């Protein structure tokens, strides 16, 4: 993919700070780092990228998807050891850069990442049994 920044990084045509690499994946430090409310960075936001270009993680072959999550687990362990966060959050994206990737974000109690989920909780409502059954049926029938 000529225009894909991740493909260019994988090919060595763009610079990146590699954190981990194997036959199937590459992990790099994200140039966008989340900050605490006081403006200081929460270090370690990382991207786990499959080497084969696909827009969405569900388009990966099973072996590739498995390797992607193995790499994410390895890098999450490194982030935990390096920065001792309370937890490492995982997000799967593809809409800003049309190349499947996992974002790993070290997070601490009370930071913006935890706050994002806390603010979302107010929009969660318990679904009715009927609605849950309908949703499950639609998915199961496929």
User: Strand, helix or coil at 15?
Assistant: coil
Buried b (16+ CB within 10 A) or exposed e, 63-86: ebbebbeebbebbbebbeeeeebe
Give the per-residue pLDDT at 33: 81
Give the per-residue pLDDT at 39: 78
CB 53 within 8 A of CB 7: yes
CATH number at residue 108: 3.30.428.10
- The burial of 94, by beta-carbon neighbours within 10 Å (0-12 exposed, 13-18 middle, 19 or more buried), is given as middle
Residue 85 structural domain = 5-140
Q: Could you give the angle at the alpha carbon of 94 between the alpha carbons of 92 and 96, nearest 5°?
A: 120
Q: Give the number of other Cβ atoms within 10 Å of residue 110's Cβ.
A: 12
- Give the count of domains, the chain: 1
CB 90 within 8 A of CB 76: yes
Give the per-residue pLDDT at 101: 95
Buried b (16+ CB within 10 A) or exposed e, 14-43: eebeebeeeebbbbbebeeebeeeeeeebe
Segment 96-112 shows an average pLDDT of 87
Express each pLDDT in 5-39 by its tens digit: 999 999 999 999 999 999 999 999 999 888 777 77
Q: Could you give the angle at the alpha carbon of 128 between the alpha carbons of 117 and 91, nearest 5°?
A: 25
Give the per-residue pLDDT at 125: 78
């Amino acid at each position: 993919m000529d225009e894909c920044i991740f493909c260019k990084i994988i090919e060595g045509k763009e610079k990146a700070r590699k954190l981990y690499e194997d036959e199937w994946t590459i992990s790099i430090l994200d140039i966008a780092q989340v900050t605490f409310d006081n403006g200081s960075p929460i270090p370690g936001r990382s991207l786990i990228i499959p080497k084969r270009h696909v827009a969405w993680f569900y388009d990966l072959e099973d072996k590739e998807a498995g390797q992607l999550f193995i790499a994410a687990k390895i890098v999450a362990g490194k982030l935990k050891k390096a920065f001792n966060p309370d937890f490492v959050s995982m997000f799967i994206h593809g809409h800003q850069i049309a190349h499947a990737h996992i974002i790993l974000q070290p997070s601490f109690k009370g930071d913006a990442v935890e706050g994002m989920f806390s603010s979302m909780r107010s929009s969660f409502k318990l679904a009715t049994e009927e609605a849950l059954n309908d949703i499950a049926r639609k998915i199961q029938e496929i």
